[in-house]
Amino acid sequence: MPVETIKWEDGRVKLIDQTLLPHRFKYLVCRDVKTLWNAIKKLQVRGAPAIGIAGALGVVLGVKDSKAKNRGEFIRKVRKAAKYLASSRPTAVNLFWALARMERVAENCQTEDVNVIKKALLREALLMIEEDKKICRSMAKFGAALVKNGDRILTHCNAGGLATADYGTALGVLFEAKAKGKKIRVYVDETRPLLQGARLTTWELMREGIDATLICDNMAASLMEKGRIDKIFVGADRVVSNGDFANKIGTYGLAVLARYHKVPFYVVAPISTFDLFLARGSQIPVEERGANEVRKVLGTPIAPKDVKVYNPAFDVTPANLVTAFVTEVGIFRKPYDFKNKKFR
Ligand code: MRU
């Protein structure tokens, strides 16, 4: 059963505080847009599709108490809330996709009755949750067909239920493969610096009874060299027109290793993660995060307290290292033609 990562309850947004997992399972209650902005920034809610949904609900929070007297004034408030939420994290395009969708909903409401527009916004955000559930199932069905009984699979970061409204992108594929009776073994990169693999992915896989083995990020090469990885499945934060894509830092290294060792490398992502306004990966804004995330591990210092740090949260993998993109509408293979939905 997937966890309910984010929900709307009694006029508040409730989200699983992912910084506390796996040791504590606790919902964070967001009553205002600022708390929600902070939750995105601090990765209490994280993963591209979940950030999109959080952003949409954040807009609802941002305008729910607005006393705007007319449509024009209210739409300006919606835009202001969306702009504020957009400043939380720059890389996952799902956030910008969801915020733009919310702005469109408000703009398309022709009524001057602000309460009607408020209701339409909430309806749209809740619709995104329902849509994401179906999208996860559809990606999983396409992806599970690529998994063979006995496969040993490597994954990076967390692309599971915690990153979506249902059971995930890359992990959804693995859950579906298991449901189809395939026996698989999954190696999980711990994913330094914030350990989404160690803390979240292992937790999700073990809850579902999937054979999971945690490794440090620097152990993946040795496993591949020994022929112990059959396939790699990862998620994405932004895929651009030529097929370059951004995902959690360390993904690019895995893709290079996969090519050298001839291991198929699959990216599982919904269409809302595709940014066809950008031509190539070098145009993707990559978030850089605070130095203490690297100087410390889960709050414990591991380095001199003033050592210089480089901490990009994502890297960009070139399209030619990807075997295929699994989406809810089908599987894209080279040469990629996302715009015309050409599946090969
Ligand atoms: O910094 P995070 O934890 O939000 O990064 C998440 C990832 O990189 C995921 O792999 C990606 O969002 C896909 S999740 C379905």
Q: Whose CA is nearest to atom 8 of ligand 1?
A: 248
233 and 327 co-located in one domain: yes
Best of 43, 200, 248, 315 for a ligand 1 pocket test (most atoms within 8 Å of beta carbon): 248
Cα of 247 vs centre of ligand 1, distance in Å, is 6
Determine, yes or no, domain membership for 108: yes
Q: Report the DSSP pairing between strands 300-301 and 265-268.
A: unpaired
10 and 44 co-located in one domain: yes
95 and 161 co-located in one domain: no
Give the end of a domain, one of 137, 171, 199. 137
CATH number at 121 reads 1.20.120.420
Residue 230 has pLDDT above 80, yes or no: yes
111 and 161 co-located in one domain: no
Determine, yes or no, domain membership for 151: yes
Residue 330 has a pLDDT of 96
Task: Compute the average pLDDT of residues 230-249.
Answer: 98
Q: Which of 343, 331, 295, 9 is nearest to 173 (CA)?
A: 331
Residue 51 has a pLDDT of 98
Q: Which of 97, 166, 105, 101 is nearest to 136 (CA)?
A: 166
Residue 235 has pLDDT above 90, yes or no: yes
Residues whose CB is less than 8 angstroms from the CB of residue 185 and which lie 6 or more positions away in sequence, other chains included: 151, 152, 153, 211, 213
Q: How far apart are CA 171 and CA 154, in angstroms?
A: 11
With cut-offs at 50, 70 and 90, classify the pLDDT of residue 8. Answer: very high
Residue 2 has a pLDDT of 83
Q: Does any ligand 1 atom lie closer than 6 A to the CB of residue 247?
A: yes
The tokens for 185 are 């073994």
Among candidate residues 132, 166, 189, 237, the one labeled active-site is: 237
pLDDT tens by residue, 62-114: 999 999 999 999 999 999 999 999 999 999 999 999 999 999 999 999 998 99
186 and 288 co-located in one domain: yes
Q: Which atom of ligand 1 is nearest to the CA of 46?
A: 4
CATH number at 188 reads 3.40.50.10470
Cα of 47 vs centre of ligand 1, distance in Å, is 4
The tokens for 55 are 């952003």
Residue 137 has pLDDT above 90, yes or no: yes
201 and 256 co-located in one domain: yes
Whether 113 sits among the annotated catalytic residues: the reply is no
Q: Does any ligand 1 atom lie closer than 6 A to the CB of residue 95?
A: no
Cα of 262 vs centre of ligand 1, distance in Å, is 25
157 and 299 co-located in one domain: yes
187 and 207 co-located in one domain: yes
Cα of 236 vs centre of ligand 1, distance in Å, is 7
Q: Does any ligand 1 atom lie closer than 6 A to the CB of residue 324?
A: no
Give CA separation, 67 vs 96, 97, 160, 282, in Å: 26, 27, 39, 43
Residue 344 has pLDDT above 80, yes or no: no
Cα of 235 vs centre of ligand 1, distance in Å, is 7
Determine, yes or no, domain membership for 263: yes
Q: Does any ligand 1 atom lie closer than 6 A to the CB of residue 246?
A: no
Cα of 96 vs centre of ligand 1, distance in Å, is 15
Q: Does any ligand 1 atom lie closer than 6 A to the CB of residue 250?
A: no
Q: Report the DSSP pairing between strands 12-16 and 6-9.
A: antiparallel
Domain that holds residue 269: 142-340
Residue 1 has pLDDT above 80, yes or no: no
- Encode the chain in three state secondary structure: CCCCCEEEECCEEEEECCCCCCCCCCEEEECCHHHHHHHHHCCCCCCHHHHHHHHHHHHHHHHCCCCCCCHHHHHHHHHHHHHHHHCCCCCCHHHHHHHHHHHHHHHHCCCCCHHHHHHHHHHHHHHHHHHHHHHHHHHHHHHHCCCCCCCEEEECCCCEHHHCCCCECHHHHHHHHHHCCCCCEEEEECCCCCCHHHHHHHHHHHHCCCEEEEECHHHHHHHHHCCCCCEEEECCCEEECCCCEEEECCHHHHHHHHHHHCCCEEEECCHHHEECCCCCHHHCCCCECCCHHHHEECCEECCCCCCCCCCECEEEECHHHCCEEECCCCEECCCCECCCCECC
Q: Does any ligand 1 atom lie closer than 6 A to the CB of residue 169?
A: yes
Q: Does any ligand 1 atom lie closer than 6 A to the CB of residue 81?
A: no
Q: Report the DSSP pairing between strands 300-301 and 314-317.
A: unpaired
Residue 290 has pLDDT above 90, yes or no: yes
Q: Which atom of ligand 1 is nearest to the CA of 248?
A: 8
68 and 87 co-located in one domain: yes
Determine, yes or no, domain membership for 126: yes
Residue 306 has a pLDDT of 96
Give the end of a domain, one of 119, 137, 155. 137
Residue 343 has a pLDDT of 79
Q: Report the DSSP pairing between strands 324-326 and 331-332.
A: antiparallel
101 and 186 co-located in one domain: no
Give the end of a domain, one of 137, 164, 185. 137
pLDDT tens by residue, 302-343: 999 999 999 999 999 999 999 999 999 999 999 999 998 877
Q: Which atom of ligand 1 is nearest to the CA of 47?
A: 12
124 and 259 co-located in one domain: no
Task: Compute the average pLDDT of residues 55-59.
Answer: 98
How far, rounded to the nearest angstrom, does the alpha carbon of residue 166 sit from its chain's CA centroid? 12
Residue 319 has a pLDDT of 98
22 and 152 co-located in one domain: no
Determine, yes or no, domain membership for 1: no
Residue 172 has a pLDDT of 98
For the chain, what is the domain count?
2
Residue 238 has pLDDT above 80, yes or no: yes
